[in-house]
Structure 1
Amino acid sequence: MFDVNDENAPVSNPSHNETFHEVVEKVVSRRSLLKGGMGLSAAMFMGGGLTACLSGGSGATGSAGTPGTTPQAPLLGFAAVATSTGDDIVVPSGYTAKVMYRWGDALFNDSPAWKGDASESGLEQARQAGDNNDGMHFFPFTVAGRQSSTEGLLVMNHEYCNYEYLFKPAAGGAVNTFLEPWTADKVLKAQNAHGISVVHVKKVGGVWQVQVGSSYNRRLTGNSPMTLSGPAAGHALVKTAADATGSAVLGTLNNCANGFTPWGTYLTCEENVNGYFGTAAAFTADALQSRYGLSAGGFGYRWHEHDPRFDLNATPNEPNRFGWVVEIDPFDASSTPKKRTALGRFKHENACLVVAKNGKVVVYLGDDERYEYIYKFVSDGVYNPSNPAASRDLLDAGKLYVAQFTAGASTGDFAGVGQWVLLDKAANATLAADARFADQAEVLIKARQAADAVGATKMDRPEWISKHPASGEIYCTLTNNSSRTAGQADDANPRASNRWGQIVRWREAGGDHTALSFDWDLFVLAGNPIAYPDRTDLKSGSANVTAANTFNSPDGMAFDADGRLWIQTDGNFSNAGNYAGQGNNQMLCADPATKEIRRFLTGPSGCEITGLSFTPDSTTMFINVQHPGEASDHPRRPATLLAGQSMEDYLARNPLAFSRWPDNGAGGRPRSATVVITKNDGGKIGS
């Protein structure tokens, strides 16, 4: 499928707002960090020590310790693994990784068996595990008043599907006709490969197993009933001929990463939803459609050919019903998920929820596209821990803000300052005077345009956001941005394009997550000192990136209970050129105090490592391996194909050419899967 963040793809953000890299240039210049040489001084800025910023505080854990006390044992207690270009998962000595839940696996008693030749129907796919497992969370059962670490519900996203593996080519068909004939059932199958799985899992005899047929098990797909709630529900821009109320929605799509709430619900985030829409007729995108990347061809899903919901001319408001954060009750299989419109509409990556000191709920949100923004939502109401059920609708009312990063004076080791700009039609004079927004509902439906208008800082693909459990500092992965040009390079930031990405962090003023200002810095600037070993070029990364831990494109990210920062990558796995020596996508672990980073895991060929959750005792880690065998950047791409043949057509006819994972080819094609990682001595993961 088309990648909206491919370097050849058009950019959706036409605004002239300042980019984050321009802010970094000002910071480095202001702090006179260029005296020691252009690249080296900038790298020192990117890799400066942060120990003082993470020490102390109630419940502080890890090697940061508390000033004046004996430091605890090092956070990183495992031996790093080397890069890999193989077709399996590699974990450190003393650990075991086992596949538990694969695309097509049974979830219900009537689930059809996996056939391995892609001949399942659309209805059969709805009763099987979805494709491309992504963000997830483990909800433990409560046993005798305590959270279980051996049984619970694992809720996960199924982001998209790979047509080259999803459909069975017709025998003897011509080149590039593997999808023909294109039918309504194929559209249904693709829609049902998307969505969510709620999976009852249990540790039996020391092995984690799916409890097939459990009453908790559930599949939500592109056709499941949902409800629009909050300020945008019922607005004219979300009404369709099939739904005059503007509140009854079918389906959730492109569910990327996730979040969870203290009242026991799951937050799934709709990301690249624009790609499912298209039309066969003439189409000219209006300003709103253009800003959200809608086009006649979409990403090539072709759903509009058999489902008028996805025809831009037939149902022009349907795209406005996607691009939200969806709240799901995993423990009630009969409940209807709610799309919480107060959190804004954009390409959501994940939702990091924090309960502030005053009890208000704060949700940090990233918009995963080049030059897009970082947001936060602050609830009007407060969370009541003694009555969690009363908090079920806290996400329907509150204030949405967007971040501005600036190079002003900051405190401690932090590089700059920032502010949260309110996106409110009544309270923000800029938006009040802007005719594009008739009311607050339109501000939320058109959140990108509202953020453009108030001068938000353009970032390099904001993805996962996570909070440090002790310091309360917020970290965000900025995956990459290969579209920047040489004209944007400067002494402090000489990369012509940001191919490797970075992680930014910030500390809210006064440690208050509802604050309107913050200090910020960069935790790590990814790069490749193997390809660029002289360390005078920012292409080699910051000081804590070495030939031993080199990586590109940080994406998934989360802290564990002890403060280890787990970093997952979704980047170029060609192992050549700018990415020489970096191997397959991987998962690393960092000590936020010392800034040491070690590689913990490497994935199979052509995959992305994503999704991350732990049992309450931290002795089991769940991760997802997405799209093994994907074509892009694959080092085993054949030098020649049949005349005019696409790579997708080649893989449809040779499905095991790039990967045989997870069952060494026995499944007939590579399959995304959930993997369980445990330590052989039963200890905490990473210790």
Structure 2
Amino acid sequence: MSEPSTDSGLWHRLLSTQITRRRALGTALGTAAAVSLPVAFSDAQAAANNGAPVGTDPKAVSPRAFPPFTPIEPTGADTLTLPRGYRFQVLAPWGEPFTESGRTIGFNHDYIGYFPLDLHEGGRSSTDALLTINHEYVNPMFVGGDTKGRGAEQIRAEMEAVGVSVVRVRKGRQGWSVVPDPRNRRIDALTPVELTGPVRGTPAVKGATTVKGTVGNCSGGQTPWGTLLTCEENVDGYTKSWEGSGYEAMHQGWVTEIDPFDPQWTPKKRTGMGRFRHENAAVTLAPDGRVVVYMGDDMQDSCIYKFVSKGSYTPGNRAAGRDLLESGDLYVANFGNGSWVLLDYDRNKKLQEARTGDRPMFTSQAEVLADARAAALAVGGTPVDRPEDIEVHPRTGDIYAALTNNSKHGNFFGQIIRWTEKGSDPSALSFLWEVFAYGGPQSGFASPDNLVFDPYGNLWMVTDNSDLSTNPIKAYHGNNAMFFFPTEGPNAGRAYRFAVGPVDAELTGPVFSPDGKTLFLSVQHPGEDSESLDKLRSSFGAQAGSQVPRPTLVAIEGFPGWRGA
């Protein structure tokens, strides 16, 4: 999730209202009482083993007052540094063969989806699962080896290294391992993907109904019926890079739904969710069963959205569930008055009146969705500071969003915000919000990125500091890291450092096994700032006899877990 470049044209229209770490708007729930404060390591050590009460229902489980580990100090070491009592195992690194046909794991791991193998039998296996791994982008120095030209062979190597890997993993006496399975497969930039929804077959996508591949796969989400939503983020740069390959930028930048259990089911791009730099897809259900998906547009001065399905989900009806995201309403958040604004050409007059010079900005709903960022800003969506991951609290239903940073406005450290929908209904059209935690030296973290909750309702966060050598973060932060936050009680919003990544790497895509005993985590782009293969800055994940670093997934163990999961 490296910071995206600035767009031009229709995608680069900014309004004057912005959320920054210095300006919380008047609809906040209250003052920033939950602002992160430094945590004394001695105090944290004394409480490190004080776990929360254990229950079988996440909504009945009390949150932890302190983390279940002894917090660690910042470091610049070229390894994955963990607290005492925790250990990690490299799993599914880039280039590892894992399919019957010999396909290899893709490059630059990001979001991880955990799908228990017995999910559709009502089970929640914590030892046997299909994992989906997003592969965000490639570094030509490592993939294909050509750092200058883009010949056909180089382009194909890059196209085959992005997308998604579906990987079966199982835990045995020797730990976790990738196991053979006919469902193991790669969905890459060459895989046929069907367009669905209002943009399908329209001039906005040059009449296409089926397109080539999914790229820029950043974060994502999982649906109640057991499919992956993989999010296409930084897609524009490939147009020039892959010139001559048939790549079409307008065919990318969507949310793509993939069924990890069914290789015969064609992946679907859900155009009703809009086209922008999709970071994530946080899925929840409204009281009436409609599916609500919260999404962030990872770019400075861009917006937060939610999609509300037209139909309702019936638990157990998997076949019908796979059609639910084809139609629905897309909204953008206005933090100035705490409202959700509808992005519908026929029902929102502002979209009909929006103009570029003397020409209409939009003439159809397909055009609105294909340039959702411009539409959002035209109707009063609030530009925020790089909205990356968004997640829904499992106990309270509150929504948390990581606003990574915005150097345009001097916000180098970022913040985490949260909001409550009216009536605790995700489909509501108004909300109240507040700042949950500020980044900075006082809190010990900067540039919040991916978020994940444990069943106790505590928040875990990883950071996205793209260049620690040239910004004011390096002095206190160390390498990119993972933090734990209580979400309730006297320590709510305080940051406790759990893990520190290798040199140049981001830690991305965290997900827990259902029993809470394993945390799967991606180590993305270790050694990315290396000058050449002869001057490597990292060797993390390298094969035996090699120093070349490899992006990889790791399985972290040592957690106390919870009963009844």
User: Match for residue 43 of structure 2?
Assistant: none
Quote how far apart the aligned CAs of 1:61 are.
4.8
Cα 1:101–1:19 change in 2 (3 A) is: same
2:189 aligned residue (210, 215, 222): 222
C-alpha distance in 1, partners of 2:518/2:426? 30
Matched, 1:599 2:480: no
User: Match for residue 561 of structure 2?
Assistant: 683
Matched, 1:526 2:502: no
Quote how far apart the aligned CAs of 1:79 are.
0.7
Cα 1:575–1:451 change in 2 (3 A) is: closer
Cα 1:23–1:588 change in 2 (3 A) is: closer
The amino acid across from 1:567 in the alignment is M
C-alpha distance in 2, partners of 1:462/1:579? 22
Matched, 1:235 2:192: no
SS in 2 for 1:60: helix
The answer as to whether partners of 2:15 and 2:383 remain within 8 angstroms in 1 is: no
SS in 2 for 1:156: strand
User: Match for residue 104 of structure 1?
Assistant: 95
Matched, 1:136 2:101: no
Matched, 1:337 2:271: no
SS in 2 for 1:277: helix
The structure having more radius of gyration, on CA atoms, is 1
Quote how far apart the aligned CAs of 1:25 are.
5.4
User: Match for residue 429 of structure 1?
Assistant: 349
Show CA shifts across 1:75-96 (max 9, x none).
5221111111101111111111
User: Match for residue 255 of structure 1?
Assistant: 217
C-alpha distance in 1, partners of 2:562/2:521? 15
The amino acid across from 1:419 in the alignment is S
Cα 1:2–1:519 change in 2 (3 A) is: closer
The amino acid across from 1:78 in the alignment is F
The amino acid across from 2:203 in the alignment is A
User: Match for residue 362 of structure 1?
Assistant: 292
User: When the two structures are aligned, how many residues end up with a matched partner?
Assistant: 535
Quote how far apart the aligned CAs of 1:11 are.
12
C-alpha distance in 2, partners of 1:77/1:573? 28
The amino acid across from 1:134 in the alignment is D
Show CA shifts across 1:532-555 (max 9, x none).
xxxxxxxxxxxxx2xxxx111110
2:278 aligned residue (326, 348, 356): 348
Matched, 1:4 2:4: yes
1:542-621 maps to which residues of 2 (within 5 A)?
A: 545=443, 550-571=444-465, 572-574=467-469, 577-593=472-488, 594-595=491-492, 596-621=494-519
C-alpha distance in 2, partners of 1:577/1:651? 27
C-alpha distance in 2, partners of 1:455/1:145? 43
1:71-86 maps to which residues of 2 (within 5 A)?
A: 74=65, 76-86=67-77
Gaps of 5+ in 1: 34-42, 49-57, 65-72, 112-126, 170-177, 240-244, 279-301, 311-317, 407-416, 485-496, 530-544, 632-647
The answer as to whether partners of 1:101 and 1:210 remain within 8 angstroms in 2 is: yes
1:255-404 maps to which residues of 2 (within 5 A)?
A: 255-278=217-240, 302-304=241-243, 306-307=244-245, 309-310=246-247, 318-404=248-334
Quote how far apart the aligned CAs of 1:452 are.
1.4
1:670 aligned residue (525, 549, 554): 549
Show CA shifts across 1:624-653 (max 9, x none).
00000121xxxxxxxxxxxxxxxx6x3244
Quote how far apart the aligned CAs of 1:598 are.
0.8
The amino acid across from 1:560 in the alignment is D
The answer as to whether partners of 1:17 and 1:452 remain within 8 angstroms in 2 is: no
SS in 2 for 1:253: coil
Quote how far apart the aligned CAs of 1:155 are.
0.4
Cα 1:583–1:373 change in 2 (3 A) is: same
Cα 1:22–1:626 change in 2 (3 A) is: closer
Cα 1:167–1:78 change in 2 (3 A) is: same
C-alpha distance in 2, partners of 1:269/1:342? 14
C-alpha distance in 2, partners of 1:142/1:629? 38
Quote how far apart the aligned CAs of 1:46 are.
4.4
The answer as to whether partners of 2:144 and 2:158 remain within 8 angstroms in 1 is: no
C-alpha distance in 2, partners of 1:388/1:16? 42
The answer as to whether partners of 2:413 and 2:447 remain within 8 angstroms in 1 is: yes
User: Match for residue 151 of structure 2?
Assistant: 183
Matched, 1:450 2:375: yes
C-alpha distance in 1, partners of 2:12/2:111? 26
C-alpha distance in 2, partners of 1:262/1:229? 20
C-alpha distance in 2, partners of 1:442/1:381? 23
Quote how far apart the aligned CAs of 1:419 are.
0.3
User: Match for residue 120 of structure 1?
Assistant: none
2:83 aligned residue (82, 92, 95): 92
Cα 1:22–1:465 change in 2 (3 A) is: closer
Quote how far apart the aligned CAs of 1:27 are.
3.6
Show CA shifts across 1:490-536 (max 9, x none).
xxxxxxx111110011000010111000000000110024xxxxxxx
C-alpha distance in 1, partners of 2:141/2:36? 42
Cα 1:438–1:97 change in 2 (3 A) is: same
Question: Could you state the TM-score of these two structures normalised by the residue count of structure 2?
Answer: 0.89
The amino acid across from 2:364 in the alignment is D
The amino acid across from 1:658 in the alignment is R
Show CA shifts across 1:557-606 (max 9, x none).
11122211010011043397443021000111110013232111111111
User: Match for residue 16 of structure 1?
Assistant: 15
Cα 1:579–1:470 change in 2 (3 A) is: same
C-alpha distance in 2, partners of 1:367/1:663? 33
Cα 1:185–1:60 change in 2 (3 A) is: same
Cα 1:206–1:380 change in 2 (3 A) is: same
The amino acid across from 1:335 in the alignment is W
Q: Which moved more, 1:82-91 or 1:338-347?
A: 82-91
C-alpha distance in 1, partners of 2:28/2:106? 49
C-alpha distance in 1, partners of 2:377/2:221? 26
Cα 1:518–1:128 change in 2 (3 A) is: same
Gaps of 5+ in 2: 38-56, 355-359
Quote how far apart the aligned CAs of 1:249 are.
0.3
The answer as to whether partners of 1:88 and 1:662 remain within 8 angstroms in 2 is: no
Cα 1:344–1:139 change in 2 (3 A) is: same
Cα 1:88–1:22 change in 2 (3 A) is: closer
Question: Could you state the TM-score of these two structures normalised by the residue count of structure 1?
Answer: 0.74
The answer as to whether partners of 1:141 and 1:152 remain within 8 angstroms in 2 is: yes
User: Match for residue 166 of structure 2?
Assistant: 198
Show CA shifts across 1:428-483 (max 9, x none).
11113343222211111121111111011110000100011111000000001112
C-alpha distance in 2, partners of 1:578/1:263? 41
The amino acid across from 2:4 in the alignment is V
Identity across matched positions, percent: 41
C-alpha distance in 2, partners of 1:322/1:157? 15
User: Match for residue 45 of structure 2?
Assistant: none
C-alpha distance in 1, partners of 2:282/2:28? 32
